[in-house]
């Protein structure tokens, strides 16, 4: 599951600098491209900022890179094999979403039915929440990983019911459909729906209907006691100091983040999912269509996958994962049929999403985006905006830049300029910022990071 720090991902998104475009020169040879990919993939290990990782890069069916780097286990000095098994954290969510859609295809559930039809004992607190709103993070249910007691509880070997009971006790963060806030609780509940409607455990359903059918023989539901050949051990960097990852009982992440896989198996998955081998055409279209808030505002998240373009403007379908000791990112570039998978066995300063984008840049040219000065009145947008965030209120400060544009500062992060896109929409790295002035009074700020769409009001 992703970091429990609600502003961390947003801050990184603002700070991330896109890879420079490749110079307009003769197309490099395949050998040259492979050498570049290999050098980029290994750079974090050489710099002492990544313990180990496996990287896969494919252009169509051509495997340009599938290789392990660094150490799978530092203490035993074990090199990372290409088929190392990693905990993939929240990349799990696309498997959970696909399972729900398979059950819909089989006529066993309705995405627009109230979740109480399938989970009648869950306290709805007078609200109606469709299964669809669980899939796209717009339910308003409190996220379990943002609770203060979660870090301690997640280290305990407690039954799965403990997580459900903890979620059920929480007040809603916002009304269903009012905003989109990344939510592990929703995917835990989706796991229960899969079990009830399939008559199988979540683990068995995923194994039988996805892993076995696709030949993903190295993938599994993780647990803490199973001996798995080639399993990488998790590590974390505290500054420059390397430590073993904190223990976490893998019963807690469940359908939100407890799967294990390899880079090769993830390639199989991405090509099967996006190649029409997992879902009906209708379900695949719904999975990859941006969710909408209750007022019709489009987001950049589908069902278990982000639909935000990569930092260079290229169309991308992807998702990342972070769990104790492991980081992951799985990317599919649909227009070029390029697959990039990055699996790491350390958490620290290197972002797998940033690395994946840099690798893709060696194959895919950037989208040309003319830089234009903002033509509107930035002074009318200036102010402090607050609203529901991930686990706590979110605050973003908008100031006017010297060029007449806007500067953006979320959660106390130093202000950075945002490029004007059109009308009242701006871009800062992969983060999209827009202002809604349709209603009387102060504008409403929409901040879309690709996995969440925050709706903030000016104070």
pLDDT in tens, 353-391: 999 999 999 999 999 888 899 989 999 999 999 999 998
Q: What is the mean pLDDT of residues 268-281?
A: 99
- What integer is the mean pLDDT of 173-186? 96
| pLDDT confidence band for 16 (50 / 70 / 90) | very low
Sequence spans of domains, the chain: 1-368, 378-458
Phi first, then psi: give them for residue 369, nearest 5 degrees.
-130, 105
Looking at residue 412, what is its pLDDT? 87
Q: Residue 438 pLDDT more than 50?
A: yes
Mean pLDDT to the nearest integer, 233-249: 94
Task: Count Cβ neighbours within 10 Å for each residue of 296-322 and write b for 16 or more, e otherwise.
Answer: ebebbbbbbbbbbbbbbebebbbbbbb
Residue 204: per-residue pLDDT: 98
> Of the given ranges (137-146, 160-169, 200-209), which has the lowest mean pLDDT?
160-169
Cα separation, 118 vs 192, whole angstroms:
9
Quote the CA–CA distance of 123 and 116 in Å, as a whole number. 9
Is pLDDT above 90 for 27? no
- CB atoms under 10 Å from CB of 94, counted, come to 26
**Domain 378-458 bears CATH identifier 2.60.40:** no
Task: Give me the pLDDT at residue 166, please.
Answer: 94
DSSP 269-309: HHHHHTTTSSS-HHHHHHHTSPPB-TTS-B-SB-SSSB-PP
Lowest mean pLDDT among 35-44, 49-58, 434-443: 434-443
CATH superfamily of 1-368: DD-peptidase/beta-lactamase superfamily (3.40.710.10)
Closest listed residue to residue 185, CA positions, set 285, 107, 278, 253: 253
Q: What letter would DSSP give residue 293?
A: -
Q: How far apart are CA 283 and CA 275, in angstroms?
A: 13
Q: What value does the mean pLDDT take over residues 46-66? A: 98
Is residue 26 predicted with pLDDT exceeding 70? yes
Tokens of 395: 């605050």
DSSP, collapsed to helix, strand or coil, labels residue 258 as coil
Q: Count Cβ neighbours within 10 Å for each residue of 333-364 and write b for 16 or more, e otherwise.
A: beeeebbbbbbbbbbbebbbbbbbbbbbbbbb
10 Å Cβ neighbour count for 32? Answer: 11
CB of 65 within 8 A of CB of 57? yes
Return all residues near 104 (Cβ < 8 A) that are at least 6 apart: 110, 111, 283
Per the rule left: phi > 0, alpha: psi between -120 and 50, beta: everything else, 383 is left
Task: Inform me whether the pLDDT recorded for 7 exceeds 60.
Answer: no
3-state secondary structure of 84: coil
- pLDDT for residue 309 is more than 60: yes
With contact defined as beta carbons under 8 Å apart, do 371 and 313 qualify? no
Task: Label the pairing between strands 444-448 and 453-458.
Answer: antiparallel
Q: How would residue 176 be classed by pLDDT, with cut points 50, 70 and 90?
A: very high
Beta strand segments in 269-337, E: 317-323, 326-333
* Token digits of residue 103: 């059950």
Angle in degrees, 0-180, between the axes of helices 184-198 and 161-168, rounded to the nearest 10: 120
- pLDDT for res 1: 56
pLDDT at residue number 19: 38
For 149, phi then psi, to 5°, come to -85, -10
User: Quick one: pLDDT at residue 187?
Assistant: 98
Percent of the chain with pLDDT over 70: 95
How confident is the model at residue 20, as a pLDDT?
39
């Amino acid at each position: 599951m992703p970091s429990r720090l609600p502003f961390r991902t947003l801050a990184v998104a603002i700070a991330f600098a896109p890879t420079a475009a490749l110079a307009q020169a003769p197309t490099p040879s395949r050998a040259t491209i492979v050498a570049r990919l290999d050098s980029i993939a290994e750079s974090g290990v050489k710099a002492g900022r990544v313990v180990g990782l496996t990287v896969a890069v494919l252009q169509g069916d051509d495997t340009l890179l599938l290789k392990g780097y660094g150490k799978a286990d530092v203490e035993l000095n074990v090199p990372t094999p290409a088929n190392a098994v990693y905990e993939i954290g929240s990349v799990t969510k696309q498997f959970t979403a696909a399972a729900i859609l398979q059950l819909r295809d089989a006529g066993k559930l309705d995405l627009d039915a109230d979740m109480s039809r399938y989970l009648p004992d869950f306290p709805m607190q007078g609200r109606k929440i469709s299964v669809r709103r669980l899939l796209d993070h717009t339910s308003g249910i409190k996220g379990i990983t943002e609770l203060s007691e979660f870090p301690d509880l997640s280290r305990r070997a407690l039954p799965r019911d403990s997580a459900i009971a903890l979620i059920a006790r929480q007040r809603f963060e916002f009304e269903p459909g009012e905003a989109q806030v990344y939510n592990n609780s929703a995917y835990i509940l989706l796991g229960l729906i899969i079990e009830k409607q399939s008559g199988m455990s979540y683990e068995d359903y995923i194994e039988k209907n996805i892993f076995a059918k696709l030949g993903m023989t190295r993938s599994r539901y993780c647990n803490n006691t199973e001996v798995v050949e080639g399993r990488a051990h998790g590590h974390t960097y505290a500054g420059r100091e390397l430590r073993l990852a904190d223990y976490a009982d893998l019963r807690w992440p469940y359908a939100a983040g407890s799967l294990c896989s390899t880079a090769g198996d993830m390639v199989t998955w991405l090509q099967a999912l996006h190649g029409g081998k997992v879902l009906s055409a209708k379900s695949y279209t719904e999975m990859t269509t941006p969710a909408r808030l209750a007022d019709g505002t489009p987001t950049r998240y589908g069902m278990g996958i982000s639909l935000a373009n990569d930092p260079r403007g290229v169309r991308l379908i992807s998702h990342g994962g972070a769990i104790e000791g492991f980081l992951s990112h799985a990317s599919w570039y649909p227009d070029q049929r390029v697959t990039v998978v990055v699996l790491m066995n350390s958490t620290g300063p290197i972002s797998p999403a940033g690395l994946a984008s840099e690798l893709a840049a060696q194959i895919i040219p950037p989208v040309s985006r003319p830089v234009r000065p903002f033509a509107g009145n930035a002074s009318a947008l200036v102010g402090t905006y607050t609203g529901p965030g991930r686990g706590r209120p979110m605050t973003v400060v908008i100031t006017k830049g010297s060029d007449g544009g806007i500067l953006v500062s979320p959660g106390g992060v130093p202000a950075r300029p945002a490029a004007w896109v059109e009308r009242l929409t701006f871009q800062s790295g992969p983060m999209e910022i827009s202002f809604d002035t349709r209603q009387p009074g102060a504008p409403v700020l929409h901040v879309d990071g690709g996995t969440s769409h925050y709706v903030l009001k000016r104070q």
